[in-house]
Structure 1
């Protein structure tokens, strides 16, 4: 098991510690702190933003009764029914009659009533997400954002550490070029 002294050698002053070793220690610390603080904060902010947008969408969409203006196609591929797009007519909040294509149950006939979803202006929209779906989508969006932030930070830290490794290798080569010939003369 590695002791505390061995783990913190880059922070202590000693003859073997290079400036790049201390820089690497600071990069690792900064990356860890950014992950510990930044990832949860951005994940939570994303989740709140997505949930707020979906909640507003739920408030802005309303179910409206419409009348089919043509027969809805019959689709037998669904067990227990399904939905298809069909031409419908409905009354908007301003009292005007509108027509368009909306999702309705398969097999309905012209003149049948169907529930469609409209926005505050009376335009057709899709059904809003349910409460469970809103929470799931918000949570998933937040988790994916937090994971993305972690991936970016870890990758950035890795790139910096690799550059420090290349720099250290160059230092070793330069120093060995100076010291190597001196050692060869002593052995001869």
Structure 2
């Protein structure tokens, strides 16, 4: 931005080349697009993602049901410890074979789920099932939808800013390439006569 302000102040200076002005305009437009375009892209992406995720959350909450299941068999492994030298027991984890009745047809179903706590055979607990009685994950909540849409908006805004900055750098690189090409042409024209007295006459 200091380059833009400086070139605008000295725009009538004969030492200010056309490529300098182009570079300043590129910097100005890139700054404006990043300041306006990146937040706009983030907000639009967050809004669209939020609507889509809310629809998905409503569908999942309508289709999935909590039902009681009974543990048939358990396979528990010792929990992981962050410090092997610690004597504190880790959290048990493993899989449990369970049996439950389908919410729609009342037919018995069996399956296996992952657990992070000790479950004894015969113990009852609640699981999530879909409309056909199959085990499924917990439905997405509105809070989770908002969190995911916020992350999507932030990623879209950061991605837009990155793309704009890369485009500015490529454009400045092209301007610099043309500038050096013109310098080479000028040096090829006046270089052989450099330092000779009276060559300009």
Task: Specify the TM-score bucket, using the shorter chain as the normaliser.
Answer: 0.7 to 0.9
Cα distance in 2 between the residues matched to 1:113 and 1:169: 78
Give the C-alpha shift of residue 134 in structure 1.
4.1
2:68 to 65, 68, 74: 65
TM-score, normalised to structure 2's length? 0.70
SS at match of 1:186: coil
Is 18-27 or 108-117 further displaced after alignment? 18-27
TM-score, normalised to structure 1's length? 0.74
Partner residue, 2:8: 8
Cα distance in 1 between the residues matched to 2:113 and 2:36: 46
Q: CA RMSD in A?
A: 3.4
Q: CA 1:154/1:115 → structure 2, altered by over 3 Å: closer, same or farther?
A: same
Q: Where does the alignment leave 5 or more consecutive residues of structure 1 unmatched?
A: none
2:3–2:24 CA contact under 8 A, matched in 1: no
Q: CA 1:64/1:81 → structure 2, altered by over 3 Å: closer, same or farther?
A: farther
Partner residue, 2:138: 127
Give the C-alpha shift of residue 157 in structure 1.
0.8
Q: Where does the alignment leave 5 or more consecutive residues of structure 2 unmatched?
A: 81-88
Is 25-34 or 75-84 further displaced after alignment? 75-84
Deviations 1:122-177 (A, max 9, x none): 43222345555444333233222211221121112112111211210111111122
Cα distance in 2 between the residues matched to 1:171 and 1:185: 22
Partner residue, 1:178: 189
Deviations 1:49-80 (A, max 9, x none): 44344434443144332222x22223442769
Cα distance in 2 between the residues matched to 1:97 and 1:45: 46
Partner residue, 1:77: 79
1:93–1:120 CA contact under 8 A, matched in 2: yes
Cα distance in 1 between the residues matched to 2:95 and 2:44: 37
